[in-house]
């Protein structure tokens, strides 16, 4: 009698390793919709990430705190997560070593990762995947409105990549502040109404301190590891949102309390009110705890539901920053990298003044913006552009040095967004890809938009002489020094006509003073 054998074949699914980077903390990602036994996630606090630039201590703490929370939440949801803290002796500290170690230990037969937003990591992961002898696959982070190449496609065949054109396309495509074939309120852009000086009123409402938990253990690990950081930290006053829940609370409070005046005072600066009406959502968004879609749609809905308190210029002024500028900068980055990181159109070579690391200068605007950056790890857009960025450009600092400073000092600084803002918009090192002309100003603009000049050691009205505001001589000297590169720019025509009207003796005096400042900025 023939014996029949029943072969029971137990189906063993192929085990997969999934990598999550520190800025890929998107709890809504489709990866987390189902708990899979055949998937193990890996996250690690790595020296390769803490050491590629000197970061602000608050930035390192915020990232690690957000990562630890994210891992805990996923574990609580039932996912399997291997997490390496910074000081774990088993932590390989580099990405390739981490992935290889995990693949071996977990016996994984495939590797998956989310597309990184930085070119550096993108290259590293591609190289790693070529070395692996198992299948590897990348997935979208499901965070941005656009794909990496959407901007390049939008501007295909065009000479100029004008943000406004991209922004209008985004408004139409996503139906944001756009109804019945027209922009809400009848106008696309209310930038002209976003330039009020803040003079002590309206009062700036308090926003809840987002984070209460003890971050002492993380701070101690960073200190014990000897990581080189910059700036200060006060754990009793730590204001970075490190969970999605905190980010949503901040967004709700922003709509209720700050949005009514956000647009009006978007460009204002003040010694007593560092944050004014800004949202401080950039860190939470950049590590993907909250999506730009959620932020934009929440603000849009709030605007439609509160026509008596929110004017279109406030809502549009805010939405433009995210739906417009943020997505645009990302598109520029992916279109232009890696050459973009080397651009130095104006051939600037000077070192960054030492006071950028201490705040010790008599120039009050710089002192305020830099001290605030060191103490709070934050400065808003106009402080970054028209104070620290403006001075670096006028003193013709090497854009590599400027990039290093901006990349480290703010928790929201991740290269995809930092680089086009710094190298492009602020330093014009891209020769006009992001901005049609350099963002430079003399003391006039700073006095108009802030109260900094009122308590400054220098006089904003004076152009030469010991007490003359350094920005004045530097401004005219810059135009003169960069004539060859900028004179033909149609948007600079008026500035050059004014420059050409100056008589020689005035120009000589301005250039002499500028040369003294550039030679020793730390003496001013």
For residue 23, the SS3 value is: coil
Main-chain phi, psi angles of 166, to 5 degrees: -65, -45
Residue 247 near residue 281, CB atoms below 8 Å: yes
Rounded to an integer, what distance in angstroms lies between the CA atom of residue 275 and that of residue 265? 11
Residue 471 contact among ligand FAD, ligand SF4, none, beta carbon within 5 to 8 Å by kind: ligand SF4
Confirm or reject binding of residue 413 to ligand FAD (CB under 6 A).
yes
The residues, ordered by sequence, that sit 6+ positions from 308 with a Cβ below 8 Å of its Cβ are: none
Span of 73-81, 146-154, 377-385, 486-494 interacting with ligand FAD by CB under 6 A: 377-385
For position 363 contacting ligand SF4 by CB under 6 A, the verdict is yes
Q: Which span (22-30, 181-189, 344-352, 358-366) binds ligand SF4, by CB under 6 A?
A: 358-366
Q: State in angstroms the smallest separation of the CB of 409 from ligand SF4.
A: 19
Contact residue for ligand FAD among 285, 387, 443, 474 (CB under 6 A)? 285
Binding mask 319-358 for ligand FAD (x = CB under 6 A): --xx--xx--x-----------------------------
In angstroms, the CA 523 to CA 350 distance is 16
278 binds ligand FAD, rule: CB under 6 A = yes
Least Å distance, CB 450 to ligand SF4, is: 8
Cβ proximity to ligand FAD: between 74 and 335 the closer is 335
Query: CA triplet 326, 154, 430: central angle to 5 degrees?
Result: 60
3 state DSSP class of 56: strand
Instruction: Figure out which of the listed residues 412, 456, 486, 514 binds ligand FAD, where binding follows CB under 6 A.
Output: 412
Q: d(Cα 55, Cα 248) in Å, to the nearest integer?
A: 26
Structure tokens at 295: 């932020």
In the list 333, 458, 476, 478, the residue contacting ligand SF4 (rule: CB under 6 A) is 458
* CA–CA dist 93, 86 (Å, integer): 8
Question: Does residue 280 belong to the site contacting ligand FAD (CB under 6 A)?
Answer: yes
Q: Cis ω on the peptide bond leading into residue 202 (within 30° of 0)?
A: yes
**How far is it, in rounded angstroms, from Cα 457 to Cα 214?**
41
State the Cα–Cα distance between residues 450 and 276, nearest whole angstrom.
12
Rounded Cα distance, 295 and 451, in Å: 31
Choose the one of ligand FAD, ligand SF4, none that binds residue 426, judging by a C-beta under 5 to 8 angstroms depending on kind: ligand FAD
Judged by CB under 6 A, the residue of 239, 367, 380, 463 near ligand FAD is: 380
Could you say which of 333, 452, 475, 476 contacts ligand SF4 (CB under 6 A)?
452
Please choose which of ligand FAD, ligand SF4, none residue 452 contacts, taking the beta carbon within 5 to 8 angstroms, the exact cut-off set by kind: ligand SF4
Contact between 290 and 251 under an 8 Å Cβ cutoff? The reply is: yes
Is 285:319 a contact under the CB 8 Å cutoff? no
Q: Which partner in ligand SF4, ligand FAD, none is near 469 (CB below 5 to 8 A by kind)?
A: ligand SF4
End-to-end CA, the chain: 103
> Is the four-CA dihedral 377, 383, 386, 391 of positive or negative sign?
negative
Q: How far is the CB of 325 from ligand FAD (least distance, A)?
A: 4
| Shorter beta-carbon distance to ligand SF4: residue 103 or 473 | 473
Considering beta carbons, is residue 116 or 389 the nearer one to ligand FAD? 389
Per CB under 6 A, residues contacting ligand FAD are: 278-282, 285-286, 321-322, 325-326, 329, 380-381, 384-385, 389, 406, 410, 412-413, 417-418, 421-422, 425-426
Per CB under 6 A, residues contacting ligand SF4 are: 363-365, 443, 446-447, 452-453, 456, 458, 460, 469-471
């Amino acid at each position: 009698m023939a014996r029949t054998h029943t072969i029971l074949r137990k189906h063993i699914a192929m085990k997969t390793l999934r990598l999550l980077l520190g800025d890929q903390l998107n709890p809504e990602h489709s990866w987390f919709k189902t708990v899979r036994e055949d998937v193990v996630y890996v996250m690690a606090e790595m020296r390769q990430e803490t050491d590629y630039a000197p970061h602000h201590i608050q930035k390192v703490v915020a990232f690690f705190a957000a990562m630890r929370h994210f891992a805990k939440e996923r574990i609580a949801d039932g996912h399997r997560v291997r997490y390496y803290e910074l000081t774990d002796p088993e932590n390989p500290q580099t990405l390739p070593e981490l992935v290889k170690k995990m693949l071996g230990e977990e016996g994984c037969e495939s590797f998956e990762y989310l597309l990184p937003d930085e070119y550096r990591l993108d290259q590293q992961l591609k190289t790693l995947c070529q070395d692996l002898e198992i299948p590897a696959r990348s997935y979208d982070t499901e965070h941005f409105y656009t794909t990496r190449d959407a901007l390049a496609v939008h501007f295909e065949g065009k000479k100029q990549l004008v943000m406004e054109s991209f922004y209008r396309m985004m408004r139409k495509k996503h139906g944001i502040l756009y109804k019945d074939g027209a922009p809400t309120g009848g106008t696309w852009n209310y930038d002209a109404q976003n330039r009020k000086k803040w003079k002590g009123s309206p009062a700036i409402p308090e926003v809840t301190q987002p984070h209460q938990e003890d971050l002492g253990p993380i701070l101690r690990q960073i200190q014990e590891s000897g990581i080189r950081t910059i700036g200060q930290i006060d754990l009793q006053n730590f204001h970075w949102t490190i969970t999605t829940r905190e980010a949503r609370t901040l967004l709700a409070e922003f709509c209720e309390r700050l949005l009514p005046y956000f647009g009006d005072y978007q460009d204002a600066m003040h010694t007593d009110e560092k944050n004014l009406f800004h949202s401080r959502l950039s860190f939470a968004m950049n590590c993907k705890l909250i999506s730009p879609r959620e932020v934009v749609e929440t603000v849009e809905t709030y605007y439609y539901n509160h026509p008596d308190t929110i004017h279109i210029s406030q809502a549009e002024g805010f939405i433009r920053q995210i739906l417009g500028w943020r997505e645009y900068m990302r598109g520029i980055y992916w279109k232009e990298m890696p050459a973009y990181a080397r651009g130095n159109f104006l051939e600037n070579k000077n070192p960054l003044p030492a006071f950028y690391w201490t705040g010790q200068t008599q120039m009050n605007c710089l002192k305020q913006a830099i001290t605030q950056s060191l103490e709070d790890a934050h400065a808003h857009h106009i402080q970054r552009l028209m104070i620290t960025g403006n001075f670096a450009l006028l003193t013709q600092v090497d854009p590599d040095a400027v990039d290093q400073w901006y990349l480290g000092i703010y928790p929201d600084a991740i290269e995809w967004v930092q680089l086009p803002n710094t190298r492009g918009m602020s330093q014009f090192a891209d020769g006009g890809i992001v901005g049609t002309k350099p963002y430079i100003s003399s003391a006039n603009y700073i006095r108009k938009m802030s109260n900094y000049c009122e308590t400054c050691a220098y006089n904003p009205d004076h152009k030469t002489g010991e007490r003359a505001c350094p920005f004045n001589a530097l401004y005219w000297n810059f135009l003169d020094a960069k004539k060859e590169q900028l004179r033909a720019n149609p948007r600079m025509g008026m500035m050059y006509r004014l420059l050409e009207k100056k008589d020689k003796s005035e120009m000589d005096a301005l250039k002499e003073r500028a040369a003294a400042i550039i030679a020793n900025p730390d003496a001013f």
